Amino acid sequence: MPWPKLLLMLCALLAVLPLQPASAQAAEHGDNGVVINEIHYDPSPAGASLEFVELYNASEQAVSLAGWALDGGVEYTFPGGAIIPARSYLVASIEPDALARAYGVAALGPWQGRLGNDGDDVILRDTRAQEIDRVPYRVGFPWPVAGYTVERSINLIAPAADNTVPGAWRAASPTPGRANVGLTSNPPPFIDAVVHQPAAPTARDTVTIHTQVTDADGISTVRLWVQAVAPGGYIRFTDPAYATTWTPYTMQPAGDNRYTATLPTALVRHRYLLRYRIEAIDRGGRSVMAPAAADPQPNFALFIYDGLPPWQGAVNPWAPGSALAQVNTFDFSRMATLPVYHLIANNTDVADAQFIPTSQWYEGYMGDDYLWRGTLGYDGIVYDHIGFRARGQAFRYATGKNKWKFNFLPGHRFQAQDLYGAPYAVQWDKLNLAGGMQHVNRGFRGEHGMFEALSMRVFAMAGV
- In whole angstroms, give the CA distance from residue 42 to residue 53: 12
Strands annotated E in 29-152: 34-40, 52-57, 63-64, 69-72, 74-77, 83-84, 89-93, 112-113, 122-125, 131-135
Model confidence band, residue 211 (pLDDT cutoffs 50, 70, 90):
very high
pLDDT at 402 over 60: yes
Q: What is the pLDDT of residues 67-88, one digit of tens each?
A: 999 999 999 999 999 999 999 9
pLDDT at 443 over 80: no
* Least-confidence region, from 217-221, 281-285, 434-438: 434-438
Cβ atoms of 63 and 84 within 8 Å: the answer is yes
Cβ atoms of 294 and 181 within 8 Å: the answer is no
Question: For the chain, what is the mean pLDDT?
Answer: 88
Three-state DSSP class for residue 194: strand
- In whole angstroms, give the CA distance from residue 229 to residue 275: 8
DSSP sequence for 393-449: STTTTSSS--EEEEEPBTTB-B--B-TTSPBPSS-BSEEEE--SS-SSSTT-TTHHH
More confident position, 14 or 135: 135
Mean per-residue pLDDT for 257-280? 98
Mean per-residue pLDDT for 404-411? 95
Mean per-residue pLDDT for 293-315? 92
Mean per-residue pLDDT for 112-118? 93
Among residues 205, 137, 122, 131, the alpha carbon closest in space to that of 168 is found at 137
What is the phi/psi pair of residue 458, to 5°?
-65, -45
Three-state DSSP class for residue 127: coil
Q: H or E segment at 97?
A: helix 96-103
pLDDT at 118 over 60: yes
More confident position, 60 or 23: 60
Q: Give CA separation, 382 vs 66, 304, 315, in Å.
A: 48, 11, 34
Cβ atoms of 4 and 380 within 8 Å: the answer is yes
Name the residue type at position 370.
Y
pLDDT at 29 over 50: no
How confident is the model at residue 9, as a pLDDT? 34
How confident is the model at residue 309, as a pLDDT? 86
More confident position, 25 or 243: 243
pLDDT at 49 over 50: yes
pLDDT at 441 over 90: no
- In whole angstroms, give the CA distance from residue 350 to residue 140: 28
Model confidence band, residue 440 (pLDDT cutoffs 50, 70, 90):
low
Q: What are 373's strand-pairing partners?
A: 387
Determine what percent of the chain is predicted with pLDDT higher than 70: 88
How confident is the model at residue 12, as a pLDDT? 35
CA-atom Rg of the chain in angstroms: 26
Q: Counting beta carbons within 10 angstroms of the beta carbon of residue 227, is it exposed (0 to 12), middle (13 to 18) or buried (19 or more)?
A: buried
How confident is the model at residue 439, as a pLDDT? 64
More confident position, 21 or 207: 207
pLDDT at 18 over 80: no
pLDDT at 47 over 80: no
pLDDT at 17 over 50: no
